[in-house]
Amino acid sequence: MSWADLIVLLMVVLVLATAFATLFLRNLLGAAVATTLVSLAVSVFYVILRAPDVALTEAAVGAGLSGLLLALAAKRLGLWHIEVQEAGLDERGDDPC
Amino acid sequence: MLTRYSALIFAAGLAFMLFVLFSGLPLGAPGMVVGQAVLDRAPAEVGAANIVTAVVLGYRGIDTMGELAILFAAATAIGLVLGRSRGSRHCPPAIQPGGFILRAGNDMLFPLLLVVGLYIILHGHLTPGGGFQGGVVLAAAFVLPVLARPTDMPSHAAMAWIEGLAGAAFILTGMAALAYDRAFLAPLLGTGEMGALVSAGTLPILYLAVGLKVGAELASLLLSLTEEGGD
Amino acid sequence: MTEFTLYTFLAASLGLIAIGIGGVILSRNLFRIVLALSIAEAGGNLLLVLIGFRHDAIAPIIEPGRALTTMVDSIPQAMVLTSIVIGAGVQALALALAIRARASYGTLDMGIMRARMEADINRVAGAESAASLHAPASSSTLLTERKA
């Protein structure tokens, strides 16, 4: 087993842990960020598997566009809660108007 | 609680079943039948240096058209679901302009993103990339100013025009092949010199149409999520 | 790239599929269900690209002026390219439906939403609403208050 194998193994373990975090994080905005991270890591896997086209797509769509989409939807769903709050920031997301 | 445990047991069983199913795969040495045929014929028939582009637009062009139709249906459905309902009370959205860093960064990034997106689209037949990836970058370029300055939204009508014209260009380029007794969406205009910017026949035109259509669709999709609409 | 690395990637893709599908079943929050769906989709795409990988091959891009060598299978890559973009569209549609559901029922929790939906249907049908297992009897008044 070489160093490259060990690095790939470490990355895979981290990706699976991140995917678990998506299901069990209490903060849904954090869960959305974890999903985006899974996409980013999978795009690195595509580079290792010699699929540069797919890697570019996954990085642009999965990590970029989808993260923006999830963030905008979280704002409209009233899930925009950050742990360290600035004053008055958390009321804005829940505002129905 | 019972459903939670049964769901966990189900997930573990699913993982075990998938692993048993797929552990017999010939990993690392697949039996490529169609793939090898494409690799043998694509350089002479299509002339694109990027084989994936040759497959996406040359050999599976109708598939790509179906994908564009699915994206269009999704964008339309989102407009339908999130559109302003006439009965709901309309309250002005709380406009909070972006800070200085966001605005200055946006002014610098906008031309850069535009150039990168168009480069990725136009070199889709030579290097990794193409209409879908470049279209996403273009959509990001047009959504970023909205985040910085929420007051001036780009008009939905212009987006709809770009999208419609690009879709029409894709289908018309495909129909032009019919006039030469070729199949629908078959590449025309010869293959050109491999590796040159103007090569691979109509593939760059098709990818430009795909890129503009995907960009306009995703941008209007993101804008309709940004607008404080009917809820 | 050794055999071990390929099996690591296989474990990653199957694990992502299992976590995603398990999450769709396990979670009650609509937003989390959308997230789990996108994770399962990433795992499926990784599996497809992994199937097309060859040890002795290069990325499917021809360098002009160099002899043709074997390349990895480009057909799964083209399919995955399509699948990723469609996945983003489906995710956007699911999020839009979730936004609409929250606007109508005031919650993202599947259990509460089902109880309110049943109460709504019963009220329209004129039937006496039976006491639900998921929601106490008082929760149906929430809906009428919100509508007023």
SS (H, E, C) chain B: CHHHHHHHHHHHHHHHHHHHHHCCCCCECCCCCHHHHHHHHHHHHCCCCEHHHHHHHHHCHHHHHHHHHHHHHHHHHHHHHHCCCCCCCCCCCCCCCCCHHHHHHHHHHHHHHHHHHHHHHHCCCCCCCCHHHHHHHHHHHHHHHHHHCCCCCCCHHHHHHHHHHHHHHHHHHHHHHHHCCCCCCCCCCCCCCCCCCCCCCCHHHHHHHHHHHHHHHHHHHHHHHHCCCCC
- Which of A19-23, B77-81, C12-16, C28-32 has the weakest average pLDDT? B77-81
Residue C106: what pLDDT? Answer: 82
pLDDT at A37: 92
- Of the listed ranges B14-28, B74-88, B113-127, B176-190, the least confidently predicted one is B74-88
How far apart, in Å, are the Cα atoms of B33 and each of A16, B38, B42, B142, B216? Answer: 33, 9, 14, 42, 37
Q: Is C99 on the interface with B (CB under 8 A)?
A: yes
Residue B41 tokens, joined: 């014929």
pLDDT interval class at A4 (50, 70, 90): confident
Written as six digits, the tokens of B203 are: 């593939």
Give the count of alpha carbons within 13 A of B172, CB side only.
8
Q: Answer yes or no: is pLDDT of B127 > 50.
A: yes
Q: Look at residue A88 and tell me if it is in a domain.
A: no
- The rounded percent of chain C whose pLDDT value lies above 90 is 18
User: What mean pLDDT do residues B37-62 have?
Assistant: 81
Q: What is the mean pLDDT of residues B153-168?
A: 81
Q: Number of residue pairs across B and C with CB atoms under 8 Å? A: 152
Domain region containing C92: 3-61+68-108
Please report residues of C whose CB lies closer than 8 A to that of A74.
31
Does a structural domain hold residue B90? no
> Could you give the number of structural domains in chain C?
1
Evaluate whether B94 touches A89 at the Cβ level (below 8 Å): no
Question: What's the pLDDT at B90?
Answer: 46
pLDDT digits (tens, 9 = 90+) for A32-76: 999 999 999 999 999 988 888 999 999 989 888 898 889 888 888
User: Between chains, do B225 and A56 touch, taking CB under 8 Å as contact?
Assistant: no
- Tell me whether residue A89 is in a domain: no
- Could you tell me the CATH number of the domain that includes residue C8? 1.10.287.3510
| Mean pLDDT confidence for B197-223 | 84
Total number of domains constituting chain A: 1
Residue C71 backbone dihedrals phi, psi, to 5 degrees: -130, 160
Q: Say yes or no to pLDDT of A97 above 50.
A: no
Mean pLDDT, range B27-56, rounded to an integer: 80
Summary mean pLDDT of chain B? 80
User: Among residues 53-92 of chain C, which lie with CB inside 8 Å of chain A?
Assistant: 53, 57-61, 72, 77, 80-81, 84-85, 87-88, 91-92
- B74 vs B212, B220, C86, CA distance in Å? 17, 11, 9
What pLDDT sits at residue B88?
A: 46
CA distance C132 to chain B (A): 17
Question: Per the structure block, which two tokens stand in for B46?
Answer: 């299509």
C62 and B40 Cβ atoms separated by less than 8 Å: no
From the candidates B71, B123, B225, which should be mutated to test the interface with A, based on the most A CB atoms within 10 A? B225
Range of the domain at A46: 3-82
Task: Residue B208: give the domain boundaries.
Answer: 45-77+100-225
Both tokens assigned to A85: 């709050």
Which pLDDT tens digit goes with each residue over C70-124?
788 888 888 999 899 889 889 989 998 988 888 888 888 888 888 888 888 888 8
Q: Is B64 inside any structural domain?
A: yes
